[in-house]
Structure 1
Amino acid sequence: MTAMAHDTQAHHAEAHEDFLLQDFLALETPEGYRAELIDGEIVVSPPPFGNHEKNIAKVVSQIIRKSSIEVDTSSMKGLKVPSGGGCTKNHVIPDLTVAPEELDVFGDAAPWMEPEGVALVMEVTSDHPERDREAKRHCYARSGIPLYLLVDRTEAKVTLFSSPENDDYVELVQVNFGKTIALPKPFEFELDTSKFV
């Protein structure tokens, strides 16, 4: 009796996950909004304010000018990443996704792609900073994305997470806005945060 009840519960949970994913993929969000599926929750975010975008622009500019390799960047690339618990695969859109140009990961990519070849993702905190600090950090670590750069506007700090292992990053370096933070290979330069807001 217990095994049958457990099998029925597992079947219902799997069916719920399938429906949730189908509903998510069928969403039509207004222009400028973005929808993500994070640990079983559909999250719809409004267009960001200017300072949010300014921080992204400052990072993109430096990565393009200072990196030791040529890179491709995307600010709206959907990534399919492993989820925690028993939830369906997460579908997240980092504020910035960076990959070596030679890999051409964005070239013929579908709207939602696997993160293979992605070297760095970045998030700039907004109304719900805990998602960027916790849920997305774990998503990116589970995916094996080597570097996660978090620009935390609430705390006026920049954190670089590296060395993903299982569900989290093993190493982190954190600086206050205004300081530099070293981006390791493949970028190999000091990121200036003096103009972050």
Structure 2
Amino acid sequence: MTTATAAAADGGGRWLTDSFLALSDHTPEGLRAELIDGEIVLSPPPDGHHEHILSRVTRQFCLRTPDTVAFSFNKGLALPGSAADGPAHHVIPDLTAVAAAQGFRGTPAWMPPAGVVLTGEVTGGNPGRDRHGKRRCYAAAGIPCHLLVDRERRTVSLCTEPSGAEYTLIRTVPFGRPLPLVEPFGFALETADFG
């Protein structure tokens, strides 16, 4: 994973966002570009274990969630920055859920968070960023639910009730135990084959 931090004396937030958007349009194939906490992050393709877990999670969501929810995998989200003059966060969750009535048709490459009901991450090359930086971005944007599968800690967490840049309710289970999900999902996520 490569990280670059940039600052500019003339309205740093806008300059950094514009620079990021220009870069993201020309990111080499196979890399994913994100702008998190003022850093441009380039990530390589995920490994097989990451994709195994993501496939198990998405299969359960697609089969067990009512048709009132639509899913996307690796959908770009443009989220408010940490400060009034700070750059917007541009993140790509592993899983994004919206109300089906809204759907994804016609949304821009970097979609605003309105209508997003859940984001999901499986820890990858920088577990700390997945655990903390991205979770804070989702909470600050008011996204009601965030799911984190932490491969290194062998846990799955559901974060709900965002307040400021944090979720006030976090329920965590170890791999092998089911994790009850809140509405509109209403099922227990099975984690037995995540290991």
Structure 1 and Structure 2 fold alike (TM over 0.5): yes
2:60 matches 1:62: yes
Q: What SS does the corresponding residue of 1:102 show, helix, strand or coil?
A: coil
Q: What SS does the corresponding residue of 1:174 show, helix, strand or coil?
A: strand
| Runs of 4+ in structure 1 over 6 Å off | none
2:79 matches 1:81: yes
After TM superposition, the structure 1 = structure 2 runs for residues 1-150 of structure 1, keeping only pairs within 5 Å, are 12=9, 14=11, 16-27=12-23, 28-85=26-83, 86-104=85-103, 106-150=104-148
Q: What corresponds to 2:162 in structure 1? A: 164
Asked whether the 8 Å contact 1:80–1:92 carries over to 2, the reply is yes
Computing the radius of gyration from Cα coordinates, the structure with the larger value is 1
Considering fraction of residues, name the structure with more helix. 1
Q: What corresponds to 2:175 in structure 1? A: 177
Q: What SS does the corresponding residue of 1:12 show, helix, strand or coil?
A: coil
The percent of aligned pairs where both chains have the same amino acid is 44
Query: How many angstroms does 1:13 deviate by?
Result: 5.3
Asked whether the 8 Å contact 2:13–2:88 carries over to 1, the reply is no
Question: C-alpha separation between the residues in 2 aligned to 1:98 and 1:58?
Answer: 16
- Calculate the TM-score normalised by the size of structure 1: 0.89
Question: C-alpha separation between the residues in 1 aligned to 2:144 and 2:67?
Answer: 16
Question: C-alpha separation between the residues in 1 aligned to 2:49 and 2:28?
Answer: 21
Point out where structure 2 has 5 or more consecutive residues left out of the alignment.
1-7
**Given residue 74 of structure 2, which amino acid in structure 1 is its aligned partner?**
M
Structural RMSD (CA): 1.4
**Structure 2 residue corresponding to 1:154, chosen from 145, 152, 155:** 152
Question: C-alpha separation between the residues in 2 aligned to 1:136 and 1:83?
Answer: 12
Question: C-alpha separation between the residues in 2 aligned to 1:13 and 1:147?
Answer: 36
- Calculate the TM-score normalised by the size of structure 2: 0.90
**Given residue 92 of structure 1, which amino acid in structure 2 is its aligned partner?**
V
Q: What SS does the corresponding residue of 1:65 show, helix, strand or coil?
A: helix
Question: C-alpha separation between the residues in 1 aligned to 2:86 and 2:156?
Answer: 29
Q: What SS does the corresponding residue of 2:66 show, helix, strand or coil?
A: coil
Question: C-alpha separation between the residues in 1 aligned to 2:77 and 2:144?
Answer: 15
Question: C-alpha separation between the residues in 2 aligned to 1:84 and 1:20?
Answer: 14
